[in-house]
Structure 1
Amino acid sequence: MTVRPLRLCVFGDSFVAGVGDPAHRGWVGRVTEHALGELPIDLTVYNLGIRRDTSSDVRARWQSEALARFPRECDNRVIMSFGVNDTTLQDGSLRVEPAETESTLAAILEDAASHGWPTLVVGPPPIADEQQNTRTAALDERLAALCQGLTVPYLHTFSHLAGATSWMREAAQRDGAHPSAQGYSDLAELVRADIAAWLGTPAESVGGRV
């Protein structure tokens, strides 16, 4: 069986980085472990989450970081996941307005398409702040609609993790935002099958154009 070389960059915030997980695996590490065990691919994953990063911060850095890691001869792909920091109030104002977050994601997807890099988006999760969660839920729907219009896969996490879940319970017990191991395991379980299916589909089938 031919093993397809695949390189994946995962960009985003502290949830991508796995802040709070005592095992330092987060959801990205757990999904990677699953993919390596299930798929006939030579997979290298780069976790490029940075704590406190907004969509604007990710946009400013992602292309140069991806180019440094993507060999031309490989199937190169991108996962984006951000939004909670955008909906955070700072000095009484949103760090990033929803319309700007949407336009930023649209620009990122267009740039990824220009390189021929298939892209998948993982939506923002909830935190232990009801008012901010209202803002994040609205942003989640807005970003999902954008991706649907561009035929880019979008994985909702917010509605699945909100409520009486390990994610919310652990976040409330810690810093109000970041869960521990079980919360990240639950998030990984939510997205791993869809990500594995996406990774297992050849690039010419999933497309790198929007």
Structure 2
Amino acid sequence: MSATRPVRFAALGDSLTEGVGDPVGEAWRGWAALLAAGLGPGEVPVEFRNFAVSGAQSHDVLDRQLPAALAFRPDVVSVVVGVNDTLRCTFDLHAVAARLDEVYARCTARGAVLLTACLPDPGTMLGLPAALGRPLARRQRGVNAVVHALSERYGAVHVHVAEGDWVADRAMWSADRLHPGERGHRFLAARFHAGLAATGRELGAPPSLTPEQPPPTRSAGVLWLATAGTGWVARRCTDLLPQLLGLAAQELRHLARGTSARLDLRAAQAVSAALAGLSTGVAQVVDVA
């Protein structure tokens, strides 16, 4: 890469990448913007475009965000999506896998460095009862397994943040408990920077882990649930709740019979089938238990 040519970074995904939870003035900043500041070594400038949109699913990334991102001719592309897919009654792991395969393939075919991540399941973050949370957790673990396998296939810089101390650290999260706060966004940016550095890529300074704003208080979380959070939950309930209640009833039946392992096995088989259904072979890394 010429020293005079800017490093171009395109970020694709949903509200996490849009920066929700990390407000700066009247706009969101987020981990991708924090990472962008450290992508240019020395005096090399960085051109950053954030195509992520709150609520986006994998089909939105493929159909809407990807064409605009490729027209930007990026050197680095992040694709972090899938949580919203799991929160819909139309969830189809096969379709998610096929879309991500195409997105990753088209990005890397242009020579871009691909960034991906596995994420915590929303049921855990919302503190749902086990019967409701476990079906959502299986869905998210399925998406994570697909992302992990496809990331290996395409040589992505993959950050595994589905688990770990940061998930339980209240200071890492915004008032809604679904999106990282400033500290969490800085953590993600630093993890991606370290992953890129490990490939030998020449970079600028890593993002600072020190937040500029204090973490949200517990009262802020209560206020969010009473205002914006109520609308968020209502919108999802309209779409997902009837199906989720059915899944919860199934969960309780298997729990009573001592056969919950069958549901985990089915989830693992769904991941294997989704990966096997892709046009070319993919290493089947399945971790959904």
| Alignment TM class, shorter chain as reference | 0.7 to 0.9
SS at match of 1:45: strand
Counterpart of 1:163 in structure 2 is: 168
Contact 2:17/2:52 (8 A) holds in 1? yes
Contact 2:9/2:77 (8 A) holds in 1? yes
Bigger drift between 185-194 and 97-106 goes to 185-194
Q: Does 1:63 align with 2:58?
A: no
Counterpart of 1:186 in structure 2 is: 187
Distance 1:60 1:17 in 2: 17
| Sequence identity (%) | 24
Counterpart of 2:157 in structure 1 is: 153
Bigger drift between 190-199 and 79-88 goes to 190-199
Counterpart of 1:115 in structure 2 is: 110
Q: Please, which of 46, 50, 56 is the counterpart of residue 47 of structure 1?
A: 50
Q: Which amino acid aligns with 2:45?
A: D
Counterpart of 2:3 in structure 1 is: 2
The 5 A counterparts of 1:4-83 are 4-23=5-24, 24-36=28-40, 38-39=41-42, 41-70=44-73, 76-83=75-82
Change (3 A) 1:97 1:151: same
Q: Which amino acid aligns with 1:166?
A: A
Distance 2:168 2:96 in 1: 25
Q: Which 5+ residue runs of structure 1 have no aligned equivalent?
A: 203-209
Q: Which 5+ residue runs of structure 2 have no aligned equivalent?
A: 204-281, 283-289
Change (3 A) 1:185 1:114: closer
What's the CA shift for 1:3? 4.3
Q: Please, which of 82, 96, 102 is the counterpart of residue 97 of structure 2?
A: 102
Contact 1:147/1:154 (8 A) holds in 2? yes
Aligned Cα root-mean-square deviation (Å): 2.8
Q: Which amino acid aligns with 2:66?
A: Q
Relative contact order: is structure 1 or structure 2 higher (C-alpha 8 Å, sep ≥ 6)? Answer: 1
SS at match of 1:162: helix
Distance 1:48 1:199 in 2: 27
SS at match of 1:110: helix
Distance 2:51 2:117 in 1: 14
Contact 1:83/1:123 (8 A) holds in 2? no
What's the CA shift for 1:26? 0.9
Which structure's CA Rg is the greater one?
2
**TM-score, normalising length from structure 2?**
0.57
Count of matched residue positions in the alignment of Structure 1 and Structure 2: 190
The 5 A counterparts of 1:126-141 are 126-127=121-122, 128-129=125-126, 131=133, 132-141=136-145
What's the CA shift for 1:121? 1.6
Q: Which amino acid aligns with 2:62?
A: R
Distance 1:178 1:11 in 2: 16
SS at match of 2:86: coil
Q: Which amino acid aligns with 1:136?
A: Q
Counterpart of 1:207 in structure 2 is: none
Contact 1:77/1:117 (8 A) holds in 2? yes
Distance 2:39 2:170 in 1: 25
Distance 1:178 1:150 in 2: 27
Distance 2:83 2:200 in 1: 26
Contact 2:157/2:195 (8 A) holds in 1? no
Contact 2:20/2:29 (8 A) holds in 1? no
What's the CA shift for 1:5? 2.7
Cα deviations by residue, 1:25-79 (Å, 9 ceiling, x for unpaired): 211121122334x555332111111000011110001332124422xxxx63321
Distance 2:60 2:200 in 1: 26
Bigger drift between 47-56 and 24-33 goes to 24-33
SS at match of 1:44: strand
Q: Which amino acid aligns with 1:77?
A: V
